[in-house]
Structure 1
Amino acid sequence: MSQLMQLKDVAESTRLGPLSGEVSAGEILHLVGPNGAGKSTLLARMAGLTSGEGSIRFGGAPLETWIASKLAQHRAYLAQQQNPPFAMPVWHYLTLHQPDKTRTGHLNDVADMLGLGDKLGRCVNQLSGGEWQRVRLAAVILQIHPDANPVGQLLLLDEPMNSLDVAQQNALDGYYTSCVRLESRL
Structure 2
Amino acid sequence: MLKLIDVSLSPRLLGISTSAKPGRLIHIIGPNGAGKSTLLSCIAGLLPYDGAIELNDRKLSGYSGAELSRLRAYLSQQQDNRSMMQVFQYIALHQPKSANAGDIEQTVMFLSEHLELTDKLERPLSQLSGGEWQRVRLAAIFLQVWPSLNPDSHMLLLDEPMNSLDVAQQSALNRLLRLFCAQGRTAIVSAHNLNHTLHYADEVWLLERGILIAAGDTVDVMQPENIENVFNVKFELFQAGNQRWLIPKDIN
TM-score calculated relative to the size of structure 1: 0.94
CA–CA distance in structure 1, aligned partners of residues 9 and 100 of structure 2: 38
Helix, strand or coil at the partner of 1:164 = coil
Identity %: 46
State whether residues 95 and 101 of structure 1, in contact with CA within 8 Å, keep that contact through their aligned partners in structure 2: no
Q: What is the CA–CA distance in structure 2 between the aligned matches of 1:21 and 1:85, rounded to whole Å?
A: 38
Deviation at 1:114, TM superposition (A): 0.4
- What are the residue-to-residue correspondences of 1:93-104 with 2, within 5 Å? 93-99=90-96, 100=99, 102=101, 103-104=104-105
1:48 to 45, 48, 60: 45
How much is the aligned-residue C-alpha RMSD, in angstroms? 1.2
Counterparts of residues 51-130 of structure 1 (less than 5 Å):
51-84=48-81, 86-99=83-96, 100=99, 102=101, 103-130=104-131
| d(CA) in 2 for partners of 1:115, 1:137 | 12
Scaled by the length of structure 2, what TM-score is found?
0.70
Taking the aligned partners of 1:86 and 1:180, their CA distance within structure 2 comes to 32
- Cα separation, 2, equivalents of 1:133 and 1:153: 22
Q: Which one has more relative contact order, counting CA pairs under 8 Å at least 6 apart?
A: 2
User: Number of residues paired by the alignment?
Assistant: 182
Question: Quick check: 1:25 aligned with 2:26?
Answer: no
Give 2:173's aligned amino acid: L
Greater Cα radius of gyration, structure 1 or 2: 2
Q: Structure 2 CA distance, aligned partners of 1:85 and 1:41?
A: 25
> Which has more strand, going by share of residues?
2
- Structure 1 residue 101: Cα displacement: 7.0
Tell me if the contact between 2:86 and 2:123 (Cα under 8 Å) persists in the aligned partners.
yes
Q: Distance in 2 between matches of 1:101 and 1:78?
A: 24
- Runs of 4+ residues deviating >6 angstroms: none
Give structure 2 stretches of 5+ with no counterpart.
Answer: 187-252
Matches within 5 A, 1:155-166: 155-166=156-167
Find the counterpart in structure 2 of residue 184 from structure 1: 184
Shift of 1:185: 1.2
Aligned partner of 1:118: which letter?
D
Residue 171 of structure 1 deviates from its aligned partner by: 1.2
Structure 1 residue runs without a partner (length 5+): none
Q: State whether residues 89 and 123 of structure 1, in contact with CA within 8 Å, keep that contact through their aligned partners in structure 2.
A: yes
Higher mean alpha-carbon deviation, 99-108 vs 46-55, is at 99-108
TM superposition shift of 1:11:
1.3
